[in-house]
Amino acid sequence: MAKPKYTSHVGMVDILPDESPKWRALETIIHEEAAKFNFEEIRTPIMEQTELIVRGIGQLTDIVSKEIFAFEKGDSHYVLRPELTAPVVRAFVEHHLEQRGGSQKLYYIGPMFRAEKPQKGRQRQFHQFGAEVIGSDDPVADVEIIALMIRIYQRVGINNFELKLNSVGDPESRETYKEALRSYLKPNLDKMSELSQKRFEKNPMRILDSKEPEDQQFIESAPVIQDYLNEDSTEHFEKVQQYLDQLGINYTIDPHLVRGMDYYTRTAFELISPDLGSQDALAGGGRYDLLVEEIGGQPTPAVGFAAGMERLLIACEELDISLAEEKTVDVYFVTLGDAARTWALTHLPKAREAGLSATMDYKGRSMKAQMKDADRENALYTVIIGDNELNEGKFTLRNMKESEENSLTFEEILEKLG
Ligand code: HAM
């Protein structure tokens, strides 16, 4: 086939009709599980002010420095949202959601945009679901967030994952740790990758995330942040672990786990799947106790996670999990002649009112072609309508699976199928 003149942008993927049922099934699971945890849905615009994303996520992060889709129109600077934590916090501050009382337990589903190099499990437009608890620094909130995240994978049937956990400390602990890390790395810095050398001054903790082979030997024996956490951060981290243990949620502590956004404080976690190849992070999140204030609100602690929906669906494929049943239509009206077509068109609404899904041929095709089409559409029943049937007021109802036929009035058909 000739290449079409217009295609979607690289890394931006159409979800075609054969794919959409599994997306809807997944969305239903997310809505249901979020409701069980008493989270409420929030929907924010696809575009945000560039300044919000830069402030929220951090100027030096990969997302902001390399991956945002940004443009200007008039005096406004727009960015396609690369994630939803900063936008949700913006909405929280803008609409004074704290006035609703208690902690705000919010969840979302939607497209995000990052100008990354596309590969399996990595797109430029991708979808996340996620949840945020804004207004609590209780480790219970951290653990409920992790429990909700995991529950959704379990509901889907994915049990094969590893939860990696770390504490990145509060700013005070982090400053002491960064100093220790710099002193440790400095003597060998010239042997390390260019990227790590660049990160050394401003963001040495990101070096721990380096995939460059020449960095690995130095990272392996680097000091770990746990030894530099102050009392508050240590106590919080221990409580998170204690509650996870009590819930029977397995985890491994990964002292090198650093996340790609600057807003994290204390708890950080990632859910890793062995079924995904190189893009193996199903989901990630953590605590961001300073972000609300950074964006202009009152100091308000918060914690959340976000999960990649494409990656979840790839894991389903690898594990042979089918989320959606095959599409069917209850009844297909097979028509012979003009009078039958008019009858079918005017009786479709009645079938639909009776709660059935119902369709007919739109192309004036032969009976054989219509039967073939009904098969392709996975029709459970066909009703055959011709002049004789219209005169008699009785129609042949065919059960397509059992190849069984009955001659019935339209009312009897509705009763039988309804
Ligand atoms: P994140 O780790 O950047 O965190 O993204 C969460 C998940 O989104 C990843 O684990 C991955 O499954 C998916 N993801 C990220 N980028 C792509 C991509 N280019 N293509 C496909 N999937 C992708 C956040 O976004 C934070 N906002 C999480 C959070 C919420 N932290 C606190 N609250």
Q: Do 93 and 155 fall into the same domain?
A: yes
Q: Do 283 and 412 fall into the same domain?
A: no
Pocket test for ligand 1, best of 52, 83, 142, 316 (most atoms within 8 A of CB): 83
Last residue of a domain, one of 290, 318, 346: 318
| Residue whose tokens read 């939860």 | 163
Residues linked to residue 76 through DSSP beta bridges, in sequence order: 73
The pTM of this model reads: 0.95
3-class state of residue 411 by DSSP? helix
Taking the centre of ligand 1 as the mean of its atom positions, its distance from the CA of residue 112, in whole angstroms, is: 9
**Rounded to 5 degrees, what are φ and ψ at 368?**
-60, -45
Last residue of a domain, one of 292, 318, 344: 318
Does any domain span residue 275? yes
CA 300 to each of CA 92, 132, 250: distance values in angstroms, whole numbers, following the listed order:
11, 12, 29
For residue 223, the tally of other CB atoms under 10 A from its CB is 14
Taking the centre of ligand 1 as the mean of its atom positions, its distance from the CA of residue 415, in whole angstroms, is: 49
Radius of gyration of the chain (CA): 28
Q: Do 160 and 176 fall into the same domain?
A: no
Does any domain span residue 240? no
Q: How far apart are CA 131 and CA 153, in angstroms?
A: 14
Q: Which atom of ligand 1 is nearest to the CA of 260?
A: 3
Does any domain span residue 36? yes
Q: Do 40 and 186 fall into the same domain?
A: no
- What CATH number is given to the structural domain containing 337? 3.40.50.800
Give CA angle at 336 (330, 338), nearest 5°.
110
Q: Do 194 and 303 fall into the same domain?
A: no
Q: How far apart are CA 264 and CA 170, in angstroms?
A: 9
Which of 271, 276, 270 lies closest to 315 in space, CA to CA?
A: 276
Residues linked to residue 408 through DSSP beta bridges, in sequence order: 395
- The two beta strands, 404-408 and 76-80, are unpaired
- What CATH number is given to the structural domain containing 139? 3.30.930.10
Q: Do 312 and 197 fall into the same domain?
A: no
Q: Do 301 and 413 fall into the same domain?
A: no
pLDDT tens per residue, the chain (418 residues)?
888 999 999 999 999 999 999 999 999 999 999 999 999 999 999 999 999 999 999 988 899 989 999 999 999 999 999 999 999 999 999 999 999 999 999 999 999 999 999 999 999 999 999 999 999 999 999 999 999 999 999 999 999 999 999 999 998 899 999 999 999 999 999 999 998 998 898 889 989 988 899 999 999 999 999 999 999 999 999 999 999 999 999 999 999 998 989 999 999 999 999 989 889 999 999 999 999 999 999 999 999 999 999 999 999 999 999 999 999 999 999 999 999 999 999 999 999 999 999 999 999 999 999 999 999 999 999 999 999 999 999 999 999 999 999 999 999 999 999 8
Nearest CA to ligand 1 atom 30: 305
Taking the centre of ligand 1 as the mean of its atom positions, its distance from the CA of residue 139, in whole angstroms, is: 22
Taking the centre of ligand 1 as the mean of its atom positions, its distance from the CA of residue 229, in whole angstroms, is: 26
Taking the centre of ligand 1 as the mean of its atom positions, its distance from the CA of residue 90, in whole angstroms, is: 18
Residues 6+ apart with CB under 8 A from 407: 394, 395, 396, 397
Q: Which atom of ligand 1 is nearest to the CA of 305?
A: 30
Residue-number span of the structural domain to which 355 is assigned: 329-417
- The two beta strands, 404-408 and 395-399, are antiparallel
Task: Count H helices and E strands in the chain, helices first.
Answer: 15, 16
Last residue of a domain, one of 318, 352, 369: 318
16-40 pLDDT, tens digit per residue, is: 999 999 999 999 999 999 999 999 9
Nearest CA to ligand 1 atom 9: 283
Q: Which atom of ligand 1 is nearest to the CA of 85?
A: 27
**Rounded to 5 degrees, what are φ and ψ at 80?**
-75, 130
Nearest CA to ligand 1 atom 11: 308
Q: Which atom of ligand 1 is nearest to the CA of 86?
A: 27
Q: Do 52 and 125 fall into the same domain?
A: yes
Q: Do 40 and 78 fall into the same domain?
A: yes
Q: How far apart are CA 144 and CA 149, in angstroms?
A: 9
Q: Do 42 and 154 fall into the same domain?
A: yes
Nearest CA to ligand 1 atom 8: 308
State how many domains the chain has: 3
Pocket test for ligand 1, best of 57, 106, 128 (most atoms within 8 A of CB): 128
Does any domain span residue 362? yes
Pocket test for ligand 1, best of 112, 150, 303 (most atoms within 8 A of CB): 112
Nearest CA to ligand 1 atom 13: 308
Both tokens assigned to 310: 């494409």
Nearest CA to ligand 1 atom 33: 304
Which residues form the pocket of ligand 1, taking CB atoms under 6 Å from any ligand atom?
83, 85, 114, 116, 121-123, 126, 128, 130, 132, 260, 281-286, 288, 304-308, 310-311
Both tokens assigned to 260: 């790609």
Does any domain span residue 183? yes
Does any domain span residue 90? yes
Chain-centroid distance, C-alpha 389:
51
Q: Do 81 and 201 fall into the same domain?
A: no
Does any domain span residue 245? no
Taking the centre of ligand 1 as the mean of its atom positions, its distance from the CA of residue 198, in whole angstroms, is: 24
> What pLDDT, on the 0 to 100 scale, is given for residue 210?
87
Does any domain span residue 242? no
Both tokens assigned to 396: 């042949």
Residues 6+ apart with CB under 8 A from 276: 121, 282, 311, 314, 315, 318
> What pLDDT, on the 0 to 100 scale, is given for residue 140?
98
Q: Do 95 and 187 fall into the same domain?
A: no
